[in-house]
Amino acid sequence: MPTALYYLFNKPGTFFLNCTKDFEDITPLKFQNLLAELNARKEPEERVPILFDVIEQLAKNRLPAIEWLDASFSHIFKANGKISQTELAEKCGVGPRHFRRKFKEIIGVSPKYYCKVIQLNTIFQLLKTSNPEALHRMALDCGYYDQAHFINDFNQIIGSSPTRFLNGKDAYVRSYLGRKA
């Protein structure tokens, strides 16, 4: 869930953008020598119970759910990202300005950007089962008005044109993209 970082660590989404943070610096709990304890275990099976314990402790201090925010993700996923911010705010019973402001503060990106990411993930999921030559048709089916609109969003989010990305040296990454069931 996109709200997990906020709920578990009590930090806004922007706190985690484009940087690495030491776990001990971000957690609201104090774990003495967690890294040393994990490194002392040679086998992954020995590390799992330690990590589960950490997750359980974090869950005990979890912030209460923000119902309208959690509902917004359900609406975004159902619509495959093809939903306006105004419609989202209305469905969640929150004013549009408050919705955009709090969404960005908690998640770290605007709802519009998040919806674009979900749209692209839907296209990547379709690419796994369809012909890449039909990319333009898939983009139209996923809510893009024209090819230029799709290419612009693709460039903005992925940092490359669709053709360059699908045929370039990083093409293997596409098998990891897409929405998970």
pLDDT, tens digit, 9 for 90 and up, residues 68-86: 999 999 999 999 999 999 9
| pLDDT value at residue 94 | 95
Same domain, 52 and 71: no
Same domain, 56 and 71: no
Residue 79: DSSP 8-state: T
Which domain range does residue 149 map to? 113-176
Sequence-separated (6 or more) residues with CB below 8 Å from residue 42: none
Mean of the per-residue pLDDT values for the chain?
85
Of 21-35, 59-73, 144-158, where does the model show the most confidence? 59-73
Helix spans in 17-169 (H):
23-26, 34-40, 44-60, 67-78, 85-92, 96-107, 111-129, 135-141, 147-158, 162-167
What's the maximum distance between 2 C-alpha atoms anywhere in the chain?
55
Q: At what angle do helices 96-107 and 85-92 cross, to 10 degrees?
A: 100
**Mean pLDDT within 4-24:** 81
Same domain, 78 and 103: yes
pTM metric for this prediction: 0.77
Look at the chain and report how many structural domains it folds into.
3
